[in-house]
Structure 1
């Protein structure tokens, strides 16, 4: 009794990393070559090719009736594609969707999904047959034009590639993700592709850019407008990588009395309409685009999305620019022409290379079809020669057949027939004898002989092949001419500038607010312009009180200045509401722990600020130039170690002088033009001090004099009209202020 072999003897020790890499490489190659990337010759992946082949064998041609998709999927899964039925059906559904394929290859009957993104019905409910485009793609399969290979179980055969003249790769596009590579090819117009291919047949060495006079850009099933420049489109086609900026097609409809709505009639490729509408509706609900009031979907078979503006004063182009920037009404359609070439090698091709590879395949198909036909002609001529001999010697042939037990060898020996000729004569029916007329036989033989010579000449002459292929392409172009409904270009190529940056006022609904910042740094924004003197407005926590309170709008940017010279920016629409005491401002910006807040004010466009430090240095800054974009703010005033930023005041457009007072109660007045305008720095000396430093500074209009509040409850102000005693050059020591000037050496709020 023999002992069984030890299973452990069959174990091969190998390093884990090499074993893993070898196995993963096999998987990767299988994914790349047999699943995810299309073939440059017919533009199909194996699942699509097997689907169409299975439907052809079921005789589901365009003139035949429909059959259940479940029948097709079952045949394809059982005979050719041993994968899940769901994946096969999904691929079949895409081939039938007119919004996914520019020229559908499957004619579906039933629910095959829609542009909203809804799924197709189950395969047991839907029916399908082939389209004319699929027939053109498979034309010539019975004429020896391509090689066949055994199916996965060896019981059937399937074509390695389709021979048809339809340029499916670029006409319908493809997308797929393999291992380490992907492909994404948008659909194109067949007539334009044929024109470009014809040009390549005549001038194979032409520059890639020359094809742009024929192929203007992608031609997407859902239409839209390709707004890239011709140079950008040409660059993408020349390299095989890039993208195309595609926008929805829209028009303005007049509603009467000056009102209008924007109507979207075409949306970008592969954008589900329902998701797009949800996104726009969310913008409206979240008030992220206040100039848009409402959206309505009035689509039936044709897309019709109605956009209603907030008011008739809204600029339609501004509204659409906002939607282009914020939604998929503008999107980028990628181009990554990564395909398998004739040797099943993946690679990125340019438009010219892809068309040239497809033409090479068509030349090969043409030659193989011609050789296949030549063989058929030779077989037929052989039989016709035998029939002619039988006709000329009909009585003797009949006698041999009647008298001989084995007439076949006798016929071969007596008349010099081949085995096939003798077999054909013996298999003839008696009623065919009357048709064996010499003239008819000779006429058919002459025609076949002439056809054979023409095919031989075609096979031997590349020039004849080019002429024949151009003629065949011209016939195909007639069926997809731009004048036909199927062939007309749907996507307009129209260069447009990028969508404009939306002004802040358009992105945020402009509403009046009252901003309040407490002494302890709690900030809030109350709706409306409240009375700043009212008790209910200025409520604070115990021990806290007002520091800054002013009127603003939700569209404003607020500048918060710290005594370190760093400025921070707050968005007015992001401030906490007026209920309660607000929130600590230090939660909104990265304010240093020791820093004290010097000022809080709106950053008005075109406004200038007077900035001064305690050491008497200062300068003028534009408010728009010191707005910070981050929580950390930006350093504007470079203060010396022992000094702090002390003054941040807006400058009126009419102000022409600056008044500065020091802790030593000395006042100077000098022209504002003596101050530099900077975005950052320490500035220049405003006033000279022996002891102390700067107390306050303000800008003014000299002819109106200097005014200050007299204090108390009277609300009266006092004005010193003649400031000539204090007028001096910048940096002077100054002299005592006018009689009655506040004892705290502060100018106070500017009188209105």
Structure 2
């Protein structure tokens, strides 16, 4: 089919990439990244501009937020009302912005994470800082551009003398890039800027004498070393480790609590408390007994230890590791420069770009003012000529048909001067008015001279900017809220979590269908028969006697091993829970072994095809649900044996399905962390049946069966001793028909 006149044939990938590039550029430059000059994204700039046009001045009355949102989406920002209102809410939240730009009245959300009320219920106006940020918009300081529909105008950037980018920070995700800028203290920023004005060659290290690090609205502790912060400021990329502020509060009787008064920036208090409560309910932090929220106007979270003997430092360190009482706040100083080109800047380059823009604003304001002064001087000169020739001017006006032309020719007036004289009121023709005009002209002439001197002198520009910065600092400066611990933290020692678990004896019971539970105490063997299971289910193997501090190792026939904490097992009431809820053990894989394992233990593992090796308890411990692969199995083989090796064991006895017995030295087995192992015994038919580990000089004993309880011992195992990997000889007469050394 031939394309029509309105259709253009292009390759699909070219059309797609072209359109995606347009979208990406729009997202980067017009939505997600702030401008280095005023620190604002377009939506924030348009919100403040709309509020200014609505005359929502700091000293004025509040107006409905719905009115502001309506103006913004109708005139300047054609996007969703909810996204615009969310941006406006953030500008009003004192816990989100270090220096809020919107003064909100009503429910604008809280640090708990609750949302703001709908915009029909809330009201807002500008703050003094927002007014400062827009100061100079009417003085020709910045360029304006048409809005999206061409009906209105909006400023390209705000000219006000306030370091908003670093003072309030920003965050955003564009296409292929993102930005994350923490807030800072405005006093420190202005001090650094003034130092940079006097010393343009100053390095970032020098600026850190003034800007010691981020200053978050929620306070907290910044625990990174100075060199770490310096590296982040130099590159514009990095992260800051931020902690909650907590202190020990003693009570009568010797008890104590930990009281948290400041939490990390961006952490929702309600979710933080829920996180801590989960640790308590799941027994992941046994030394913590309770958490209470006693916050009113000030934040106050009370953490109650299990007992007064708990080490406060250990409790606090544990909470830092397990909860959002410690976070890492990223730094990615990715901004749009004065040419609207995205790029990552360091602290110095960011301040330098802002100061350069402020010098430009200063010059634009001066040039605009000089132009207005010259326009006014032109009119004043015309007025003075009129006063000096007042009678003749009156005569011309009364008698001439074209008085403007005659006056321009006779007195050398410009068109504007002649028009202004003709528009003068009669009451202005007083002697006093002539004196006022002369006085005004003298003042304006001096002001023009000063402004021209400012335009021509970089030194005067720097002095003027420093003076203005000092005024901003005096007006808006405040003390730092976030405390910085400049000393580098030592490497944190690993916490022995088992020491926090209350040690209690338990009996671990596993059913044939994979249901696991832990009954309190160590059940006697005669009590095993009284255990109840679900219909059609029964006991698997022998119950384990363990402690809540122990690690329970479960091995699957697929060669993978899994670890469960004794304190995390379901209680003994009922039938327990399926072990596969806690472990990623496939439903089709049977359990091969269950035992208590210590990191220092030695274990023997073997597969059904007669291969095996020694391993350590540390090698089999797995901290995740997925476990770890211990034995690499050949096709058709499965994990058959995994059992502890007694410390005094020296001999290995292996019996196959063919009833052949082989005895060899334990030292012939290699110790491995993972692998397929070595051949223990060779089989022509069948495979491995069982393994026993014997002490030196110890014979082989087995049960005679029946109710007699008698055992038989074969003391001399010399006929069956051979090197590892041999076939072996038939087992002694009377050896159990199950081909197992002992019953499970």
TM over 0.5: yes
- Which residue of the other structure, out of 526, 546, 551, is the alignment partner of 1:557? 551
Residue 488 of structure 1 pairs with residue 480 of structure 2: yes
Distance in 2, matches of 1:490 and 1:164, equals 26
Q: How far did residue 591 of structure 1 move?
A: 11
Instruction: Give 2:10's aligned residue.
Output: 15
Unaligned runs of 5+ in 2: 634-638, 656-662, 679-689, 710-722, 724-733
Of residues 542-551 and 49-58 in structure 1, the stretch that sits farther from structure 2 once superposed is 542-551
Instruction: Give 1:197's aligned residue.
Output: 193
RMSD over aligned Cα atoms: 5.0
Q: How far did residue 33 of structure 1 move?
A: 2.0
Residue 312 of structure 1 pairs with residue 305 of structure 2: no
Q: Give the 3 Å change call, closer, same or farther, for CA 380–582 of structure 1 in structure 2.
A: closer
Confirm or deny: 8 A CA contact 1:612 1:697 kept in the other structure.
no
Per-residue Cα deviation, 1:126-169 (whole angstroms, up to 9, x for no partner): 22221111111111111111111222333322211111111111
Instruction: Give 1:94's aligned residue.
Output: 90
Distance in 2, matches of 1:209 and 1:445, equals 50
Distance in 1, matches of 2:654 and 2:368, equals 106
Instruction: Give 1:261's aligned residue.
Output: 257
Q: How far did residue 363 of structure 1 move?
A: 1.2
Residue 34 of structure 1 pairs with residue 30 of structure 2: yes
Per-residue Cα deviation, 1:78-103 (whole angstroms, up to 9, x for no partner): 33233333333222222111111111
Of residues 374-383 and 414-423 in structure 1, the stretch that sits farther from structure 2 once superposed is 414-423
Per-residue Cα deviation, 1:636-682 (whole angstroms, up to 9, x for no partner): 999xxxxx999966667xx8x9799999xxxx9x9x99999997899
Instruction: Give 1:84's aligned residue.
Output: 80
Distance in 1, matches of 2:599 and 2:541, equals 24
Q: Give the 3 Å change call, closer, same or farther, for CA 422–433 of structure 1 in structure 2.
A: farther
Confirm or deny: 8 A CA contact 1:106 1:130 kept in the other structure.
yes
Residue 181 of structure 1 pairs with residue 177 of structure 2: yes
Distance in 1, matches of 2:112 and 2:513, equals 54
Distance in 2, matches of 1:75 and 1:582, equals 59
Instruction: Give 1:722's aligned residue.
Output: none
Q: Give the 3 Å change call, closer, same or farther, for CA 500–264 of structure 1 in structure 2.
A: farther
Distance in 1, matches of 2:346 and 2:91, equals 25
Confirm or deny: 8 A CA contact 2:604 2:641 kept in the other structure.
no
Q: What SS is found at the alignment partner of 2:290?
A: strand
Distance in 2, matches of 1:227 and 1:425, equals 71
Confirm or deny: 8 A CA contact 1:109 1:126 kept in the other structure.
yes
Q: Give the 3 Å change call, closer, same or farther, for CA 493–148 of structure 1 in structure 2.
A: farther
Q: TM-score, normalised by structure 1?
A: 0.78
Per-residue Cα deviation, 1:479-520 (whole angstroms, up to 9, x for no partner): 233xx3xx5334545554677655332675543211357999
Instruction: Give 2:505's aligned residue.
Output: 512
Distance in 1, matches of 2:206 and 2:272, equals 37
Length, aligned pairs only: 707
Q: How far did residue 713 of structure 1 move?
A: 12
Instruction: Give 1:4's aligned residue.
Output: none
Confirm or deny: 8 A CA contact 1:610 1:699 kept in the other structure.
no
Distance in 1, matches of 2:84 and 2:510, equals 65
Residue 467 of structure 1 pairs with residue 440 of structure 2: no
Distance in 2, matches of 1:97 and 1:543, equals 59
Distance in 2, matches of 1:171 and 1:212, equals 15
Aligned residue runs from structure 1 range 502-651, under 5 A:
502-505=495-498, 510-515=503-508, 525-534=518-527, 536=529, 548-559=542-553, 568=561, 570-573=563-566, 578=572, 601-604=595-598, 623-624=617-618, 627-628=621-622
Instruction: Give 1:210's aligned residue.
Output: 206
Unaligned runs of 5+ in 1: 1-6, 639-643, 685-693, 716-730, 732-741
Q: TM-score, normalised by structure 2?
A: 0.79
Q: Give the 3 Å change call, closer, same or farther, for CA 160–290 of structure 1 in structure 2.
A: same
Aligned residue runs from structure 1 range 273-352, under 5 A:
273-352=269-348
Q: How far did residue 260 of structure 1 move?
A: 1.7
Q: What SS is found at the alignment partner of 2:59?
A: coil
Instruction: Give 2:165's aligned residue.
Output: 169
Distance in 1, matches of 2:410 and 2:206, equals 67
Q: Give the 3 Å change call, closer, same or farther, for CA 621–477 of structure 1 in structure 2.
A: same
Distance in 1, matches of 2:627 and 2:116, equals 52
Confirm or deny: 8 A CA contact 2:630 2:673 kept in the other structure.
no
Confirm or deny: 8 A CA contact 1:89 1:123 kept in the other structure.
yes
Confirm or deny: 8 A CA contact 2:515 2:575 kept in the other structure.
no
Residue 146 of structure 1 pairs with residue 138 of structure 2: no
Q: What SS is found at the alignment partner of 2:247?
A: strand
Confirm or deny: 8 A CA contact 2:646 2:693 kept in the other structure.
no
Confirm or deny: 8 A CA contact 1:325 1:499 kept in the other structure.
no
Confirm or deny: 8 A CA contact 1:322 1:500 kept in the other structure.
no
Residue 477 of structure 1 pairs with residue 473 of structure 2: yes
Distance in 2, matches of 1:144 and 1:115, equals 40
Q: What SS is found at the alignment partner of 1:269?
A: coil
Aligned residue runs from structure 1 range 685-696, under 5 A:
none
Of residues 487-496 and 213-222 in structure 1, the stretch that sits farther from structure 2 once superposed is 487-496
Residue 365 of structure 1 pairs with residue 358 of structure 2: no
Distance in 1, matches of 2:102 and 2:416, equals 43
